[in-house]
Chains A and B, each alone.
Chain A
Amino acid sequence: MHATRGQGTSAAPTLGQRTESVTFRRSKRQGLARSVAERYTREDIPCGLHGCSVCTLNAELQRKGVPQLSGRISQVLVPDASVVSRFIGLLEQADGLKNMVFCQTIVEALDRRNRTRTIRNVRRIANDPTRSSVVFANEVFAQTRASEGGEKQLPSAERDMRAVLRAARWYRFHLDALARQQVQVVLLTLKVCVLVFFQRVCGLLSAMASDLLPHLGRLPPNFADAHAIDYSVVDGTGSQEGVEVWQLADFIETFHPSLLEHFRSVESATRDGDMDITAQSPEEYAQGRLRAKAQGSYAAYYSPGDIEAGLRSGTLVRGKIRLHPVSSFRPETQGVVERGGDVPDIIITGRAALNRACIGDIVVVKLLAEMKGPQADAMEGADAESEEDEDEVRVVEQTDAGEETPLETATRSVTGVVVGVAERRWRPYVATLQIDEAGGMQHLAVPVDASVPKIRIHYMDVSAINDRYFVVAIDGWTADSVYPQGHFVRALGPVGSLDAEIDTILVERQIAVSQAALGFSEASMREMPIDTSGRQWRPSAEEISSRRDLRSTLIFSIDPIGSQDIDDAVSMRRTKDGYELGVHIADVTQFIAPGSATDSEALARGTTVYLADRRFNMIPEVLSERVCSLRGGRDRYAVSVVWKLDEEYHIKDVWFGRSVICSACEMSYEQAQALLDGKVGVEGLESTKEDALRTGVVELTRAMRVLRERRRAAGALELASTEVKFGFESGTQRISELAPKRSLEIHRVIEEAMVFANTAVARRVHQTLPSAALLRRHRSPTAERFERLAQAVRTRGFEIDSSSNAALAASLQTIAQASADKEPQLEFLAKAMATLAMQEAEYFATGDCASSAEFVHYGLAQEYYTHFTSPIRRYADIIVHRQLLAALENPADAGAEEMSLSRQWVSKAAGQLNERSRQSKLAQREATELFQSRYVAQKTADGQSLVADGVVAEVRTNGLIVYVPRFGLRGPVRLRDTAGQIRLPLSALTGSARDIDRFVDGCSDFAAETSSLSMRLPMNAPVFHLGSPVLRFAVFDRVKVALRVLETRRRRAPVFLTLVSRGAVGAAEAKAYRSTLAPLDRTLRVSAAGRQKVENSKDSSSARSDDATVLRPSQSDTADPANRERDFYAVLDKFRAMSILETKCDVQKL
């Protein structure tokens, strides 16, 4: 390759002398490090004076657009470092100050103090052509470079002052050489002492005494001392030429009196600050910074010996830490170490006390004082939103799934500090990049999980990972570093893309490193039976002979539409003296040998993960969808539980064992419900089978109703969850439908049958394997946890008795019955809150419990419970299957050597499965939120508003959490920003979605309590249709909200809500203003009487007066006329249209 290039730029060096400058640099290991830099001094530095005949380079700079000193000037101003650093605001804003020369010395001094902004201001002045100011490179100019007193001397304020003086003197000299003696060179300073010293040195005192004496009249009292000190730094080579030295104050007073006020204000504003860089030497500054940094870092951990001793003596405690991130009501990160039992939790507050502990770490904590009562912020709950450093709003929400135990449940707690980390639980984190305009290779990665600290990473190419999710791993966290050090692992994809978001969920929940990694290995595929369309898998005759043949029994399965993995089927038939009920579960263990590749993979996965539009299987598809799946019309292996029941559905006999079945039909829930409802000719069912199936379904339902009632009497709870269903447009990722899942009776029937089977199996397994059975329990929650629920329902006049599950179930039942027709959402919300208050159910090995009393399942009200019915999608069921089969084979042998029967192994597996199922549940929830957010984004894409009815689910300190039943989502409604400003959207008063981004000014008296929130509207607001100037929101109030998504570059775009109108008002307020509205109400009703029966409207009005919450949100004119006049809101709407203009309109006159 030839490098034949034309004459480009000439590389001939025209350097003068080479010198070196020394600076201090903060260094990680050694505190302060000296760093040496080269410096080449040169002769070709231009003065920057327009039209200068000597400096030829001026013209070149001018061509490049660098402003110059004006040619027609009377003064050149040379501010010194103290003036520039302290009065930069004045210099920049006061346009009258022109022709300034900023010495490079000052710019460098500012740089050493990290005063980047001041440098930027200097540059802005120098770039402004109207200011005619320049930056003068005096430090590299051979004629102005101040000596340093030896090459390795550090820069100091004195030296810098000298350098500025030399620069000023050079200008004097230069102007003289240009024969422009009339131009004054003025050095501006703040220091009287410097001034005197300079005058002495230059011999100016006598020459200019008459001019300067007035300024010298203000010497400080300690002048003599300062005087003496300053003499020690005298620069002997003073020019005799006249540079005028002025104190800035006097200069302003004399030449720019109009700026005096501005000067005074800047002076007073900067008096105490450390704006003036000459007050401290660079070394002192660097050391100060170092000290500040050392204070900001962490205490060293205790030695292993100390920890051991402390743990033994009880002064230290070991435990797993949970973290609650910073929010606007929680100024510092808070950690909680739970100790279980009656011992209070340990609260660790603040970065220093947490001492580098990360979420999930096993830490060693030193106990401090015990705190009385709950935390100060205890009852406030988490914020709906909190501001993050980069103006991004994060939504912190604690909602269903009890994994985030609210802090307020701790009635008494102990504070502590972390003194050691026994075990790090770092995992790969998904993060985004914090944009740092300074560039460089060191960056901060901001994890998506708010409770994980930012991580320092080293990465070359910022643009490649900007606005993308990427995975980072933490490598270590030294005591002197604010953030942990980590490294970039790999990029996931752009923020906002569906696949990257799903990958993010998978990585964050430790389900897989990516979607692609969720395939199965070749080793496990080799273990699979073959089932292709050409060669269908069939049960072997040999195997059939060893199993109970149930192929002649009518067995059917009921699952959601389109289910491929059918793991349960049921049968129900009448016998001579009662019934025979069968629950048949796919025999997965037949195909998965313990310890095989598929088995260990399935254990590692723990469960199949269903995310709205996709599914990640626990076992390979050939098993889950074909060979194990109990498809209709195919012979399949099963593990069956068959009960003989008497006429009253009491168990007479139960049989467990392997079987072979042939499902008659795979039905959907909808089809089964249709059968149950007595529909003839159900779509998709063979008419020949219909009657037989109907009998089965009806018999089953009858039985299950009885069993369910029995269980409910024992105290079983019915809890609510927000499961939503998404419909997708085929071929695209667009969501066509979003609705909460409908619950049919048949759902509960199947659920009951499964509970019945699980319970039976749990008893049977525990009987043979008293110490190694894998059961599932649900511990009873403490009464305190129900406090919030109790307070909320009290606003509606209900009480919650949480003394036992039966009492709680009864309370909820009362609420459900009383509110079913008036406020159907109340029941749901109350149940959702109850769910939140509960503990999570968990797997355990029976041997780990002291007595069988601990086995109890609180929610289902069962003494024994386990998971047996879904081996295709849960690994726990596989273990239980193995245990059951082993127990049946050898009832006496409890201490088998088989792995799945040993207590240690089961206990370990139970822990692992609890974790996996928790993570998969969270992943499912996150995916639901993701798709909900995408749906809302899709609906609001072209500026449309999406308005829906909602119910206030929770009250927070700065807003509300509103549940929108139509989409099954909860979202925050923010009414106060982080600065504490009340932000009530105008739409809350006008009811128009157009006003969601305008706010009502002048709201006051913001008060948030546990279950209600109120604010006072301004006097001029169009409020009278609300009846009261106080706007109040309580839990369970109906509201209308506009849904929007918050676009962030950081994380999944959260949905947030804006109030559009209050759907209803509190009872008290309603009563208060009903009287004012009554005449109007009556007028309208009478006018409508022509179309409507009068009694009817009277009924409705009397019903309404009982409780204002009956009121329905306004309907449009197309609404059923029968409802229309009952609709309070229609009246209010008309009224409102007028009321916006006339606030004091007399109602009577209308």
Chain B
Amino acid sequence: MSRQELLSPEGLRVDGRRANELRRILCRASVLNTADGSAYYEQGNTKVLVAVYGPREPRFRGPVQHDLATINVEFNVAPFSTSERRKRSKGDKRLLEVASFVRQAFEGAIQRSVYPRSQIDIYLHLLQHDGGTLETCINAATLALIDAGISMDDYVCACTAGFIDEVPVLDLNAVEESSIETPDLTVAILPRNGNIALLQMESRLHSDKLEDVMDLAVEGCKHIHRKLDEAVLAAASDLAQKLNR
């Protein structure tokens, strides 16, 4: 892997961004006809397709809760998602971990008591990988859940931030993420009240720096919120057009 400087003294990152810049975000809701809700979400070169089914009758009786909906998240990585083709087994712990993080993030946001004894399935499919898997999955799932018309308190917007050469850095790509020195913090917030839905970091970061890194990530989340909002509006107006025709 490249050992190049991740943040040049001139303040530029490997892909030409500055420290506080997000990658390009492209997203669209309602991309699949078969699913109850779906979305395609692209952040830089990380591309995710999500399908949401439900609320529906649970397939298995086991996890049913009599007063709440259960959320089931499955996360798959396409073998062609990286430059080297690689198949992953379904039991891959890293995949299960991402799925469980997504589930945790949404358990607080979805109004589960509205759908007792039912199940909401979120199928995430990573088509291309370039860092920030968890943030893109959460953002894409938000869009798809809204598309499916599931009651939620708010959007759940996620963003990563890292810390390179004493500078907080927003939205890490794969090269930046794979460097061991870079702490990699993922924050998911409910943008309206600023509540934190998920906060995840596996590496070490000095506690003095955490505040700055989190501030930056939250800023990123707010920006993503606007992007998602636009996508929802676009999908809604699209639907309105179809209805009016």
Q: CB within 8 Å of B: which residues of A?
A: 1-6, 8-15, 18, 20, 25, 27-30, 33-42, 46, 61, 64, 66, 107-108, 111, 114, 116, 119, 123, 126-127, 135, 137, 139-140, 438-441, 460-463
Contact = CB atoms under 8 A, between A and B. Distances in A.
B4 A137 contact: no
A61 B11 CA distance: 8
Given A108-B4, A438-B3, A440-B1, A61 B83 contact: no
Nearest to B190: A3
B193 A111 contact: no
Given A8-B212, A9-B168, A42 B194 contact: no
Given A11-B223, A127-B9, A137-B12, A460 B202 contact: yes
Given A135-B8, A440-B1, 14 more contacts: A5-B194, A5-B215, A11-B219, A15-B17, A18-B24, A34-B83, A36-B83, A37-B130, A39-B16, A40-B16, A46-B10, A123-B5, A135-B10, A140-B12
Given A111-B4, A127-B9, A40 B15 contact: yes
B84 A111 contact: no
Contacts of B84: 27-30, 33
Contacts of B8: 135, 137
4 residue pairs, one from A and one from B, having the closest CB atoms = A140-B16, A8-B215, A3-B194, A40-B16
B52 interface: no
Given A2-B193, A61-B10, A137-B10, A42 B16 contact: yes
Interface stretch (B53-61, B62-70, B170-178): B170-178
B240 interface: no
Contacts of B209: none
B22 to A, nearest CB: 6
B4 A119 contact: yes
A8 B216 contact: yes
A439 B4 CA distance: 12
A36 B23 CA distance: 15
Name the residue among B1, B10, B202 with the largest chain A CB count within 10 angstroms: B10
A287 B217 CA distance: 40
14 contacts: A3-B189, A4-B194, A5-B214, A5-B215, A13-B22, A15-B17, A34-B83, A36-B45, A39-B16, A40-B16, A439-B179, A439-B180, A440-B180, A441-B178
Contact of B181 (A3, A18, A119, A439): A439
B110 to A, nearest CB: 18
Interface string B216-245: 101110110000000000000000000000
Nearest to A108: B4
B89 interface: no
Given A34-B83, A38-B45, A40-B15, A3 B9 contact: no
A1106 B9 CA distance: 78
A36 B128 CA distance: 11
Given A8-B216, A36-B45, A40-B17, A460 B196 contact: no
Contacts of A61: 10-11
B180 A11 contact: no
Listed residue (A3, A14, A36, A46) with the most chain B CB atoms within 10 angstroms of its CB: A3
B10 A38 contact: no
Q: From B203, B219, B223, name the one whose CB has the most chain A CB atoms within 10 angstroms.
A: B219
B219 A8 contact: yes
B20 interface: yes
Contact of B170 (A11, A116, A123, A140): A11
Contacts of B214: 3, 5
Given A108-B4, A140-B12, A15 B24 contact: yes
Interface in B14-63: 14-17, 19-24, 44-45
B211 to A, nearest CB: 8
A950 B92 CA distance: 62
A440 B175 CA distance: 11
Contact of B16 (A4, A114, A139): A139
A8 B194 CA distance: 15
Contacts of A27: 83-84
A821 to B, nearest CB: 66
Interface of B: 1-5, 8-12, 14-17, 19-24, 44-45, 83-85, 130, 168, 170, 173, 175, 178-181, 187, 189, 193-196, 202-204, 212, 214-216, 218-220, 222-223
B59 to A, nearest CB: 34
Contact of A37 (B15, B179, B189, B203): B15
A9 B20 contact: yes
A38 B44 contact: yes
A38 B23 contact: yes
A1057 to B, nearest CB: 41
Contact of A38 (B15, B181, B202): B15
Contacts of A139: 16
Nearest to A459: B180
A66 B85 CA distance: 42
Contacts of A33: 83-84
B9 A126 contact: yes
Given A13-B21, A41-B16, A111 B3 contact: yes
Contacts of B4: 107-108, 111, 119
Contact of B203 (A39, A108, A460): A460
A297 B226 CA distance: 53
B23 to A, nearest CB: 7
Nearest to B204: A461
Contacts of A441: 178, 180
Nearest to A29: B84
B113 to A, nearest CB: 21
Nearest to A13: B21
B17 A3 contact: no
Nearest to A443: B180
B15 A9 contact: no
B21 A14 contact: yes
A27 B181 CA distance: 23
A616 B130 CA distance: 54
A35 B83 contact: yes
B196 A3 contact: yes
Contacts of A66: 9-10
Contacts of A35: 83
Contacts of B220: 11
Nearest to A28: B84
Contacts of A440: 1, 178-180
Contacts of B22: 11, 13
A788 to B, nearest CB: 50
Contacts of B189: 3
A888 to B, nearest CB: 60
A701 B1 CA distance: 75
Contacts of A6: 215
Nearest to A3: B194
B172 to A, nearest CB: 12
B23 A11 contact: no
A123 B14 CA distance: 16
Most buried by B among A38, A61, A135: A38
A33 B1 CA distance: 12
A30 B220 CA distance: 37
A453 to B, nearest CB: 23
Contacts of B21: 11, 13-15, 40
A11 B20 contact: yes
A119 B193 CA distance: 47
B3 to A, nearest CB: 5
Contacts of A116: 3
A39 B15 contact: yes
Contacts of B218: 3, 5, 8
B16 A12 contact: no
B83 A38 contact: no
Nearest to A141: B16
A11 B224 CA distance: 10
A309 to B, nearest CB: 36
A463 B22 CA distance: 31
Counting chain A CB atoms within 10 Å of each CB, the highest count among B11, B22, B202, B222 belongs to B11
A137 to B, nearest CB: 5
A119 B3 CA distance: 10
